[in-house]
Amino acid sequence: MRVLAFLDGTLADPDEAHIRVDDLGLLRGDGVFETILVTGGTPRELGPHLDRLARSAAMMDLPQPDRAAWERVTQLVIDNWSGGPEIAVKLVYTRGVDGDPNATPTGFALGMEIDEKVKRARVEGIAAITLDRGIDPGLAGRAPWLLLGAKSLSYAINMAAGREAARRGAADVIFTATDGSVLEGPTSSVIVVRGRTLYTPPATIGILPGTTQGDVFRAAERGGWGTKVEPIMVSELPSADGVFLASSVRKLTRMHTLDGAALPDSTAVHAELAELYDAQYR
């Protein structure tokens, strides 16, 4: 089941072609996107997702997204959904047609089912590997044109990292910086647990501010946990009480193996945090 709606409020057949071949989103990956989890008809963290869409668009000098139109088109997808209980709604906003001085951005929302592999990983956990991203934590500040921390459509590197993980028998990746610190996953934020405190690296090092990470932290704080946003070294991971990848679609996914070595069993920690996170939406 899929539902496609354009930003002007028209529904369209997702099995038909709609995007021009000279759209800059296609030709250059020149655009931004968001993926929102909808459960029980409610989009999770819609406000923070739309905030981040606007932030990514600003970083790329795209026209400011029309927030009300994005809210409407998201709701249109939800209203026309007749599939499973969860929807992954992808919002895509590109620079529009190449070479047209009056080009208007292309914008659409596509509702999709959640991949079975992702659902299984939420329950069973995953093996991951660390991969060098080749950037230092100060680069994002020094070189904003690199768009580190923008959710741009240019995800070829992120997808390549996933294939490298598969070649090495793992399901996912933690990107690392040149100083040996933890960045993020190719499509997720990293959350580390030590005792009763959750840690995640600061977005200023050139990673996406995760909406799920923020949501998990707030839920955990209400449940009595401490939270800290500070640099994490890769060398700290093997002894942590929990290493998790967080994103809208995968929710909070437990890592049981890193670089081929088993991590301490975090099943109980994961169950408690996943319950605090999910309970808000019941």
Residues that bind ligand PLP (CB under 6 A): 35, 184, 187-189, 208, 210-213, 246-248
Torsion angle (degrees, nearest 10) of CA 271, 273, 274, 279: 120
Task: Rank residues 87 and 97 by Cβ distance to ligand PLP and give the closer one.
Answer: 87
Task: Rank residues 50 and 97 by Cβ distance to ligand PLP and give the closer one.
Answer: 50
β-partners of residue 253 are 245
Task: Rank residues 212 and 266 by Cβ distance to ligand PLP and give the closer one.
Answer: 212
Please classify residue 182 by burial: count the beta carbons closer than 10 Å to its beta carbon, then call 0-12 exposed, 13-18 middle and 19+ buried: buried
Angle formed by the axes of helices 211-222 and 267-279, nearest 10°: 100
List the one residue out of 189, 195, 238 whose CA is nearest residue 216.
189
Min CB(125)–ligand PLP separation in Å: 18
Min CB(16)–ligand PLP separation in Å: 26
The count of other CB atoms within 10 Å of the CB of residue 94 is: 24
Min CB(187)–ligand PLP separation in Å: 4
SS3 track for 182-197: ECCECCEEEEEEECCE
Min CB(221)–ligand PLP separation in Å: 17
Min CB(208)–ligand PLP separation in Å: 4
Min CB(172)–ligand PLP separation in Å: 12
Min CB(8)–ligand PLP separation in Å: 26
Whether the Cβ atoms of residue 89 and residue 111 lie closer than 8 Å to each other: yes
Task: Rank residues 94 and 187 by Cβ distance to ligand PLP and give the closer one.
Answer: 187
Torsion angle (degrees, nearest 10) of CA 11, 2, 34, 59: -50
Whether the Cβ atoms of residue 43 and residue 89 lie closer than 8 Å to each other: yes
Contacts of 127 (CB under 8 A, 6+ apart): 169, 170, 171, 172, 255, 256, 257, 258, 260
Task: Rank residues 97 and 237 by Cβ distance to ligand PLP and give the closer one.
Answer: 237
173's tokens? 């990746």
Min CB(83)–ligand PLP separation in Å: 20
Dump strand ranges (E) for 99-157.
106-112, 126-132
166's tokens? 């598969």
